[in-house]
Amino acid sequence: MIIGILKEPNDKRVSLVPSTLKKFKVEGVEFRIQKGAGTQASYVDTKYEKYGKVTDRSEILKSADILVSINPLPVEELPLIKKGALLVAVFSPFQNQELIARIEELGLKAASLDMIPRTTIAQTMDILSSMASIAGYRAVLLAATELPGFFPMMITAAGSIKPCKVLVLGAGVAGLQAIATARRLGAIVEASDVRAAAKEEVESLGAKFVEVPGAIDKRDAGGYAVEQTAEFMVRQQEEVQKRAASSDVVITTAQILGKKAPVLLTAETVSKMKPGSIVIDLAASSGGNCELSQADTTVIHNGVKIIGNSNLPSEMPRDASFFFSNNAANYLKLIIKDGALNLDRNNEIIDKTLLTKDQT
């Protein structure tokens, strides 16, 4: 069985790193790596050569039984792939149904790593958590460099500076990492979430929890938040407006599985923020938590910088690739048995990740 590793277009990360290949001792598996696949993430070809063949993209496309990538392959390349091959990637299937249909039409298979259930048993494969954690950390560093001032309190002979105020909306994996990072830099942090369980986690990191009464919190939604009522959203936007007006940085991370991201920060709220403030919207590619966000673009409104960047892990490519690689390898070990694909639909993780039909 051949596993192919390709260079990611428009992303500095690579799906599998040399240290993972070294440890990946599965009988009958060999790796083929595209030349330069890991260069931007600091994993050079000579490191890969010990564990597989470093070769051209076209050779990998036509020979690999499994192609592992972070982003889905460009649709024009699909006809060049070996029939029956399995594509493992982050497909964001709710937004990419046409691509999945095309994969199926060409007799290929697709498994989406972002559909891995958020259960204890699947934790070692959970790319959403590992990438969200990096995004939360990186969002704070980005805010700190974009802010025209300090994060920590400064008492100097040249004058005193108050600590920066950070508001984090959505206290899941990314939000909690953002809170912890902002606290380490000396900021005063407030955070809000619709899941009641988030309160204790936020407070344990030394931040204040902003509670908006009346949230729907379904415990059977796999840990994910659910869509809120229109009345709740208005109340929440009002509460956010009060807090955002006195904040220097707002980091938004709120997502609802399979749906457009909820709007928490309206244009009116941004108008009330101080000039020089920074909004980092990690949900920009799924509609944005800020009404003014644009995916992968920076918008300036009344002196407030709104940075819509949904791919911050690519800005920390060495460690993001290392985490992704470990997660992906654990998934590969689950679907390979005796050197062949073993797509057992009775396994919950496999069943949830497979996007195309008739794959066993």
Catalytic residues: 118, 123, 126, 129, 224
Residue 25: CA count within 13 A, CB half-sphere: 1
Provide the 3-class DSSP secondary structure of residue 301: strand
49, 59, 224, 345: residue in contact with ligand NAD (rule CB under 6 A): 224
CB of 264 to ligand NAD, least distance (A): 6
CA 8 to chain CA centroid, nearest Å: 16
CA 187 to chain CA centroid, nearest Å: 24
DSSP string computed for 63-116: H-SEEE-SSPPPGGGGGGSPTTPEEEE---TTT-HHHHHHHHHTT-EEEEGGGS
* Nearer residue to ligand NAD within complex by CB, 71 or 228: 228
- Binding segment (CB under 6 A) for ligand NAD, from list 76-84, 221-229, 268-276, 352-360: 221-229
123, 246, 302, 347: residue in contact with ligand NAD (rule CB under 6 A): 123
Opening angle at CA 136, ends 96 and 325, nearest 5: 60
CB of 51 to ligand NAD, least distance (A): 29
120 makes contact with ligand NAD (CB under 6 A): yes
53, 57, 118, 184: residue in contact with ligand NAD (rule CB under 6 A): 118
**DSSP character at residue 265:** B
Could you give the string, one character per residue 67-106, with x where binding to ligand NAD holds by CB under 6 A and - elsewhere? Answer: ----------------------------------------
* Nearer residue to ligand NAD within complex by CB, 98 or 200: 200
Decide the pairing of beta strands 66-68 and 86-89. Answer: parallel
130, 241, 255, 309: residue in contact with ligand NAD (rule CB under 6 A): 255
Across 281-291, b (16+ Cβ under 10 Å) vs e yields bbbbbbbbbbb
Return d(Cα 270, Cα 326) in angstroms, integer. Answer: 40
Provide the 3-class DSSP secondary structure of residue 252: strand
18, 38, 72, 262: residue in contact with ligand NAD (rule CB under 6 A): 262
State which of positions 127-146 bind ligand NAD (CB under 6 A): 128-129, 132
Q: Closest Cα to residue 70, out of 350, 351, 255, 322?
A: 322
State which of positions 288-307 bind ligand NAD (CB under 6 A): none
Provide the 3-class DSSP secondary structure of residue 137: helix
Q: How far is CA 314 from CA 41, 61, 100, 317, in A?
A: 9, 23, 24, 5
225, 244, 249, 306: residue in contact with ligand NAD (rule CB under 6 A): 225
| Residue recorded with tokens 């070809």 | 45
Give backbone dihedrals phi and psi of 236, rounded to 5 degrees, phi first. Answer: -65, -45
* Nearer residue to ligand NAD within complex by CB, 104 or 291: 291
192 makes contact with ligand NAD (CB under 6 A): yes
Decide the pairing of beta strands 304-308 and 109-112. Answer: unpaired
Q: Which residue is nearest to ligand NAD (CB)?
A: 172
* Nearer residue to ligand NAD within complex by CB, 255 or 269: 255
Give backbone dihedrals phi and psi of 223, rounded to 5 degrees, phi first. Answer: 90, -15
Number of residues that bind ligand NAD (CB under 6 A): 31
Q: Which residues pair with 188 in a beta bridge?
A: 165
Could you give the string, one character per residue 159-188, with x where binding to ligand NAD holds by CB under 6 A and - elsewhere? Answer: ----------xxxxxxx-------------
- Binding segment (CB under 6 A) for ligand NAD, from list 93-101, 218-226, 241-249, 331-339: 218-226
- Binding segment (CB under 6 A) for ligand NAD, from list 41-49, 150-158, 253-261, 316-324: 253-261
Residues engaged in binding ligand NAD (CB under 6 A): 118-120, 123, 126, 128-129, 132, 169-175, 192-195, 198, 223-225, 228, 253-257, 262, 264
